[in-house]
Structure 1
């Protein structure tokens, strides 16, 4: 379990470190060739981890799935959109809840399998892979935006 907790911690700290010092104006820039913004990516990884690992214990507002779910776009946002600062705080708070997932639940079957994943442990692996992919997207976007401004 220490390995799993370490993976979750390293993943989330890497995400938060990636956005340290980024000009707040850049968070909502959608560069040509990219589907979303850094702001969207932060909400998306938060929402995905919540959905796949904490759904029955969710602390997030219900409308986050419309704002940040698969296929959503910041160009279509309406209503109450959380700020980057709010999302950063929620990402930090979520890590605490992720680290509370008990070791004995790793082999438990989930109610709704997804893409061949059936256990909590498999979903943790997916969330780590998913979030690191988005960290890479954020990194590329950040470099692109900074180089053109």
Structure 2
């Protein structure tokens, strides 16, 4: 379980470090060739982890799935959209809740399998890989934005 907790901690730390010191004005810039903004990526990572691993005890507002779910776009945002600072705080808080998942739950079957994944442990692996993918997207977006501003 230490390995799992370490992976969650390292990945979330990498995500938050990637945006550390980045100009807040650029969080909502959607560079040409990209589908979303850094602001969206932060909410998306948060929402996916919540839906896959913490859904029964979710602490996120109900509208997050519409704002940040698969296929959503910042251009279509309506209503109350959390700020980047709120999302960063929620990402920190969520990590604490993820780290509280007991080891005995890793082999527990989930109510809704997804893409061949059936256990909590498999979903944790997915969340880590998913987050790594979005860190890469954020990194690429930062480089593009910084080179054009």
Question: TM-score normalised to the size of structure 2?
Answer: 1.00
Q: How many angstroms does 1:137 deviate by?
A: 0.1
Where does residue 30 of structure 1 map in the other structure?
Answer: 30
Describe the SS at the equivalent of 1:71: coil
Q: In 2, Cα distance between the equivalents of 1:48 and 1:71?
A: 12
Q: Where do 4+ consecutive residues of structure 1 move more than 6 Å? A: none
CA–CA distance in structure 2, aligned partners of residues 57 and 91 of structure 1:
15
Q: C-alpha offsets along residues 72-103 of structure 1, whole Å, 9 cap, x if unaligned?
A: 00000011000000000000000000000000
Q: Which residue of 1 aligns with 2:42?
A: 42
* Structure 2 unaligned residues grouped into runs of 5+: none
Q: How much has 1:146 moved relative to structure 2?
A: 0.5
Q: CA deviation at 1:22?
A: 0.5
- The answer for the alignment partner of 1:129 in structure 2 is 129
Could you tell me which residue of structure 1 aligns to residue 82 of structure 2? 82
Normalising by structure 1, what TM-score?
1.00
Within-5 A mapping of 1:104-115: 104-115=104-115
Instruction: Give the count of matched residue pairs.
Output: 149
Q: How does 1:53-68 map to 2 (within 5 A)?
A: 53-68=53-68
Q: Which digits, 9 at most, give the CA deviation of each residue in 1:31-66, with x for residues without a partner?
A: 000000000000000000000000001000000000
Where does structure 1 lack aligned partners over 5 or more consecutive residues?
A: none
